[in-house]
Amino acid sequence: MQQTAALYSKLVTSLDGIVWEADGDTFQFTFVSPQAERILGYPLRDWLQPNFWRDHTHPDDTDWCAAFCLDCTKRRQDHEFEYRMIAADGRVVWLHDIVSVKIEPGGAVYLSGIMLDITKRKRAEEELRQKSEILQKIFDHIPVMVTFRGEDGHIKLVNREWERIFGWTLSELQERNGDILNDVYPDPINRRRAQDIIAAADLQWRTFKAKVRDGRIIDSSWAVARLSDGTSVSIGQDISERTRAEEERRRLLQRLITAQEDERRHLSRELHDNLGQYLSALLLGLESLARLQDLPPAAVKKLSYLIETTKQFELDVHSLALELRPTTLDDLGLEASLSGFAREWARRHDQRIKVVFNSSGFANPEKRLPFDIEVAIYRVVQEALTNASRHSNAQIVSIILERDDTQVRVTIEDDGVGFDVEKMMSSPVENRRLGLLSMQERVQMVGGEFKIDSGAGTTIVVTIPLDKS
Ligand X SMILES: Nc1ncnc2c1ncn2[C@@H]1O[C@H](COP(=O)(O)OP(=O)(O)OP(=O)(O)O)[C@@H](O)[C@H]1O
State the minimum distance, in angstroms, from the CB of residue 250 to ligand X: 17
Angle at 366 between CA 362 and CA 370, to 5 degrees: 80
Residue 416 contacts which entry, Mg ion, ligand X, none (Cβ below 5-8 A, type-dependent):
ligand X
Whole-angstrom distance, CA of residue 124 vs CA of residue 320:
78
Binders in 377-416 for Mg ion, by CB under 5 A: 387
Binders in 380-399 for ligand X, by CB under 6 A: 387-388, 390-392
Whole-angstrom distance, CA of residue 409 vs CA of residue 396:
20
Residue 391 contacts which entry, ligand X, Mg ion, none (Cβ below 5-8 A, type-dependent):
ligand X
Whole-angstrom distance, CA of residue 387 vs CA of residue 379:
12
State the minimum distance, in angstroms, from the CB of residue 387 to ligand X: 3
220 versus 458: smaller Cβ distance to ligand X: 458
CB-CB contact of 381 with 341 (8 Å): yes
Which residues, at least 6 apart from 96, have a Cβ–Cβ distance to it below 8 Å?
Answer: 80, 81, 82, 115, 116, 118
Binders in 48-67 for ligand X, by CB under 6 A: none
340 versus 435: smaller Cβ distance to Mg ion: 435
Whole-angstrom distance, CA of residue 284 vs CA of residue 279:
9
State the minimum distance, in angstroms, from the CB of residue 258 to ligand X: 18
180 versus 452: smaller Cβ distance to ligand X: 452
State the minimum distance, in angstroms, from the CB of residue 242 to Mg ion: 27
Specify the pairing of strand 29-32 against strand 79-86.
Answer: unpaired
Q: How many residues bind Mg ion (CB under 5 A)?
A: 2
Give the number of C-alpha atoms closer than 13 A to the C-alpha of residue 113, restricted to the C-beta side: 24
Please give the backbone phi and psi of residue 389, each rounded to the nearest 5 degrees, phi first. -75, -35
Q: Taking the CA atoms of the chain, what radius of gyration do you get in angstroms?
A: 44
Residue spans of alpha helices (H) in 201-351: 240-269, 276-290, 297-324, 327-331, 334-348
State the minimum distance, in angstroms, from the CB of residue 434 to ligand X: 4
Residue 333 contacts which entry, ligand X, Mg ion, none (Cβ below 5-8 A, type-dependent):
none
For residue 220, what are the β-bridge partners?
Answer: 208, 238
Residue 398 contacts which entry, ligand X, Mg ion, none (Cβ below 5-8 A, type-dependent):
none
Whole-angstrom distance, CA of residue 216 vs CA of residue 209:
10
Which residues, at least 6 apart from 355, have a Cβ–Cβ distance to it below 8 Å?
Answer: 342, 343, 345, 346, 385, 396, 397, 398, 399
DSSP helix/strand/coil, 466: coil
Binders in 416-445 for ligand X, by CB under 6 A: 416-419, 424, 433-436
Give the CB-nearest residue to ligand X. 435
Q: Does the protein bind ligand X through residue 134 (CB under 6 A)?
A: no
State the minimum distance, in angstroms, from the CB of residue 383 to Mg ion: 6
State the minimum distance, in angstroms, from the CB of residue 412 to Mg ion: 13
Give the number of C-alpha atoms closer than 13 A to the C-alpha of residue 196, restricted to the C-beta side: 8
Residue 355 contacts which entry, Mg ion, ligand X, none (Cβ below 5-8 A, type-dependent):
none
Q: Point out which span in 49-57, 74-82, 269-277, 415-423 binds ligand X (CB under 6 A).
A: 415-423
101 versus 388: smaller Cβ distance to ligand X: 388
332 versus 424: smaller Cβ distance to ligand X: 424
Q: What one-character-per-residue DSSP string does 412-469 give?
A: EEE-S----HHHHHHS-GGGS-SHHHHHHHHHHHTT-EEEEEEESEEEEEEEEE----
Binding mask 425-454 for Mg ion (x = CB under 5 A): ----------x-------------------
307 versus 421: smaller Cβ distance to ligand X: 421
320 versus 417: smaller Cβ distance to ligand X: 417
- Of 433, 315, 325, which Cα lies nearest the Cα of 378? 325
Residues that bind ligand X (CB under 6 A): 387-388, 390-392, 414, 416-419, 424, 433-436, 458
Residues that bind Mg ion (CB under 5 A): 387, 435
